[in-house]
Amino acid sequence: VSDSSPDAGGGDGDAPDDGRGPGDGDDGQPPDATSRVGADATASSRTDAPADRVTDHATGHWRGIGAVGLVLGGLGLVFGSPGLVLSGLVGAVFAGYAGAARPLRVRDGDGDPVIAVRRRVDPETPAPGDAVTVDVEVHNGSDGVLPDVRVVDGVPPALPVIDGSPRHGAVLRPGGRARFSYTVRAVRGEHQFDPARVVVADPTGAVERETALAAGTTVTCRPDPSPVDLPLRGLASPYAGRIETDAGGEGVEFFATREYRRGDPPGRIDWNRRARTGDLATLEFRRERAATVALVVDVRRAAYVGPGPDRPHAVERGVDAAGRAFEALLDAGDRAGLAALGRGIDDAWLAPGTGRDHRADGRDLLATHPAFSPVPPEAGLYDSLDPERREALRRDLIDRLHRRLPAGAQVVLCAPCCDPFPVAVARRLTALGHPVTLLSPDPTADDRALRALAGLERADRLDRLRRAGVRVIDWGEESLPAALARASRGWSR
């Protein structure tokens, strides 16, 4: 997701069913972290551009004592006191020593780092919520002593540290190693560790040299979603499935009888009636059809909101809900697709389908595609555009989504609705003939007046949608099935 506007990425020439993101495995096999990371995530990448940067800091630790020395020495001279002069001299010696300090070498002649960071994560493919132990080893490959090495590991932004600390300080002799470890909590997604930031100070601490050392480690966390049935709406596709239609035909439940027509299968002839009256009649059953459902998750930056630290944000809950509904739909024989409403709309798209490969693709897309990342996209070009242009891009985003939807597909939109855009999406898609169900994880808090105001604004938005004929599931603190049960009580089909 290097692009910064919803329309970045050019045209939409790809056919709707070619919607697999580039992050998907080639053969439906989930890409395995071990193959990418290797036995122990080797270090000292020399290609990473930011990792090659070296910054020096003059800390000014000793400037105070230099000043004191000068003042004391000067006063000693003025008042002719040898004691004062001598004590000033001590300060001057310290200041001179510190002033002569040079930054220590952290790269050798070829620009390769002399310090190596190795990182080992266990397990590499955790389930969400699991504790992942990260062991870091820092190795001094130079032939000099490094008297003050400080390391801050590049913990991926989405993974909170729950035990230990990713910081370490050590004295490293030539060839010496220092180890430390900490624990993070796994969160859905494919998480790259950032380069570790390393600072080496000279013995006096007067100069610090900072650099970044990459050790390409990845933690991949795929949830195993438990299916949750979403109540579907009446419109159905031509495929056999579970939506009850008001049309007779093949099916299970008795619907009506009609006159026999040539070619009706003998199994559907009403033989009782034939025996009773001699007429030939054919039984009709209620036709049951499969639904085509696109699960759309709002992944715009505005959707990355949550009620507070250590609580899942709206995108995380939306992706979770979409994943669980996806499983349930496929279990029931419906055709389910996935889409990211936001920058990733062009590649994070899985056209509605069925089957085992489709299920694997969908799981993969939700678990690891960058568009569904738990980390918000950076503010980009889009945020600096003028309102009119943004409005045009927003409309374009809706059109783009619409063009991908098969005719008659229903849409389940997972969006927190803390801005008006999801309302516009839901209304527009409804107008275009796609029944919309809004599943809205509630990200608001009400511990402050303005937070409560945001909650009121969101509640009013949901009300407007309900009045416009959109089904709304307001998903608060409760579990998803509980929210569905509460919401469906208020619906009439």
The three-state secondary structure class of 456 is helix
Task: Determine if 152 is a binding residue for other proteins (CB under 8 A).
Answer: yes
Identity of the residue, 179 or 451, whose beta carbon is nearer to other proteins in the bound complex: 451
Query: From CA 483, how far away is CA 286, in angstroms rounded?
Result: 30
Query: From CA 384, how far away is CA 469, in angstroms rounded?
Result: 34
Task: Determine if 39 is a binding residue for other proteins (CB under 8 A).
Answer: no
For the chain, the straight-line distance linking the first and the last C-alpha, in angstroms and rounded, comes to 40
Instruction: Identify whether the C-beta of residue 218 lies closer than 8 Å to the C-beta of residue 193.
Output: yes
Query: From CA 434, how far away is CA 409, in angstroms rounded?
Result: 6
Identity of the residue, 117 or 294, whose beta carbon is nearer to other proteins in the bound complex: 117
> Shortest approach of other proteins to residue 487 CB, angstroms?
18
Task: Determine if 70 is a binding residue for other proteins (CB under 8 A).
Answer: yes
Using the contact rule CB under 8 A, the part of the chain among 89-97, 105-113, 239-247, 341-349 near other proteins is 89-97
Identity of the residue, 250 or 383, whose beta carbon is nearer to other proteins in the bound complex: 383
Angle between helices 356-368 and 314-331 (to 10 degrees): 180
The three-state secondary structure class of 178 is strand
**What track of x and - describes contact with other proteins for positions 370 through 409 (by CB under 8 A)?**
----xxx---------------------------------
Task: Determine if 48 is a binding residue for other proteins (CB under 8 A).
Answer: no
Identity of the residue, 197 or 486, whose beta carbon is nearer to other proteins in the bound complex: 197
Identity of the residue, 91 or 344, whose beta carbon is nearer to other proteins in the bound complex: 91
Task: Determine if 50 is a binding residue for other proteins (CB under 8 A).
Answer: no
**Burial of 22 (C-beta count, 10 Å sphere; 0-12/13-18/19+):** exposed
Residue 62, token pair as written in the block:
């000793």
Angle between helices 421-431 and 387-404 (to 10 degrees): 40
Among 60, 174, 231, 355, binds other proteins (CB under 8 A): 60
Using the contact rule CB under 8 A, the part of the chain among 44-52, 71-79, 228-236, 266-274 near other proteins is 71-79
Identity of the residue, 67 or 127, whose beta carbon is nearer to other proteins in the bound complex: 67
Task: Determine if 189 is a binding residue for other proteins (CB under 8 A).
Answer: no
Using the contact rule CB under 8 A, the part of the chain among 140-148, 157-165, 266-274, 344-352 near other proteins is 157-165
CA nearest 304: which of 402, 225, 223, 378? 378
Identity of the residue, 149 or 351, whose beta carbon is nearer to other proteins in the bound complex: 149
Identity of the residue, 58 or 392, whose beta carbon is nearer to other proteins in the bound complex: 58
> Shortest approach of other proteins to residue 437 CB, angstroms?
22
Using the contact rule CB under 8 A, the part of the chain among 11-19, 155-163, 267-275, 481-489 near other proteins is 155-163
Query: From CA 239, how far away is CA 265, in angstroms rounded?
Result: 20
Instruction: Identify whether the C-beta of residue 255 lies closer than 8 Å to the C-beta of residue 353.
Output: no
- Which letter does DSSP use for residue 105 in this model? P
The three-state secondary structure class of 234 is coil
Identity of the residue, 321 or 418, whose beta carbon is nearer to other proteins in the bound complex: 418
**Burial of 314 (C-beta count, 10 Å sphere; 0-12/13-18/19+):** buried
CA nearest 313: which of 305, 323, 321? 305
For residues 454-473, which are near other proteins according to CB under 8 A?
A: 454-460, 463
Identity of the residue, 191 or 394, whose beta carbon is nearer to other proteins in the bound complex: 191
**What track of x and - describes contact with other proteins for positions 330 through 369 (by CB under 8 A)?**
----------------------------------------
**Which residue is listed with tokens 């040539």?**
262
Query: From CA 373, how far away is CA 187, in angstroms rounded?
Result: 10
Q: Which residues pair with 269 in a beta bridge?
A: 282
Query: From CA 426, how far away is CA 487, in angstroms rounded?
Result: 17
Identity of the residue, 173 or 451, whose beta carbon is nearer to other proteins in the bound complex: 451
Among 8, 54, 85, 269, binds other proteins (CB under 8 A): 85
Query: From CA 449, how far away is CA 211, in angstroms rounded?
Result: 44
Among 80, 83, 109, 266, binds other proteins (CB under 8 A): 80
For residues 99-128, which are near other proteins according to CB under 8 A?
A: 99-100
**Which residue is listed with tokens 């009045």?**
467
Task: Determine if 68 is a binding residue for other proteins (CB under 8 A).
Answer: yes
Q: How many residues bind other proteins (CB under 8 A)?
A: 81
Task: Determine if 160 is a binding residue for other proteins (CB under 8 A).
Answer: yes
Task: Determine if 218 is a binding residue for other proteins (CB under 8 A).
Answer: no
Task: Determine if 306 is a binding residue for other proteins (CB under 8 A).
Answer: yes
